[in-house]
Structure 1
């Protein structure tokens, strides 16, 4: 028996505007794993083709956040939660777990909010979605992966469905 090779299909791109981080400092106790940072999500855009008659175009609603744990001088674990609103009024709740890895000097520049060449950073994510529109139900029973770029004022993501 031959296993099918994984394939992906590009679904949409996100440009998520972010505010200055809120630094909570190093965590202590049983779950003390690193430095906690909370990055507020201010807005943004979603751009993709129509699927089953619903345009995957719209905006990122303000009010979400990325709850980061900087676990070493090379690795950060990200846990972002936010809402998308499509042009047709449909809303999608996004939970996005990510891993960002880079050399210590590159990570230090990212944490400071300095621009960094994306080729110097491994940034991958696994988003999941909650929807209320029946035409988007397919998003709740598929796996998605993505790649990202952290810029000083935003995060850009390309999201792919695993086929």
Structure 2
């Protein structure tokens, strides 16, 4: 049975630009799931109309380089918002492009961002009584990102 109703089209609301600084990549090598790389997070900052926070050191991005050339990313880290609230951030996504672009990224170079796709889905967790940021607990967010040798830059959007 076909219904004439249509689901509403989602809209994106810009939350912040994040620059997340990174340490040296730890390459575990081939595993049963693919080539595992761990990229320690050393700091950074979210700056935007809805979210301003410092990224705390101690998180990491656990990457899997698949045999088909796709990279699966899963970053978990914590930020301290400007009001003092702690925010746990989980960002899962993919990075892919032509083989020469992916090789340049793996070599620590910064190819033109339009030559590869780097997208993530982001969830947030913070205290329910956080006066300025409790709303993040109910946000589905997405990002478009680029990789630099020492950082990842993400434009983060709430899906409305």
The equivalent of 2:151 in structure 1 is 154
Asked if structure 1 preserves the Cα contact closer than 8 Å seen for 2:83 and 2:132, the reply is no
Q: Which runs of 5+ in 1 are unaligned?
A: 51-55
State how far apart, in whole Å, the 2-side matches of 1:43 and 1:129 are: 17
Worse-superposed segment, 128-137 or 12-21: 128-137
Deviations 1:65-86 (A, max 9, x none): 0000001352100000101111
State how far apart, in whole Å, the 2-side matches of 1:139 and 1:66 are: 21
Match of 1:7 among 11, 15, 32: 11
The equivalent of 2:29 in structure 1 is 25
Cα root mean square deviation, aligned: 1.2
The reply on whether 1:140 has 2:137 as its aligned counterpart is yes
Q: What is the deviation of 1:148?
A: 0.4
Q: Which runs of 5+ in 2 are unaligned?
A: none
Asked if structure 2 preserves the Cα contact closer than 8 Å seen for 1:73 and 1:107, the reply is no
State how far apart, in whole Å, the 1-side matches of 2:40 and 2:25 are: 7
**Equivalent residues in 2 for 1:1-163 (5 A)?**
1-27=5-31, 32-50=32-50, 56-72=51-67, 74-132=69-127, 133-163=130-160
State how far apart, in whole Å, the 1-side matches of 2:146 and 2:68 are: 18
Q: What is the deviation of 1:134?
A: 4.5
State how far apart, in whole Å, the 1-side matches of 2:49 and 2:22 are: 25
Q: What SS class does the counterpart of residue 133 from structure 2 fall into?
A: helix
TM-score, normalised via structure 2 length: 0.91
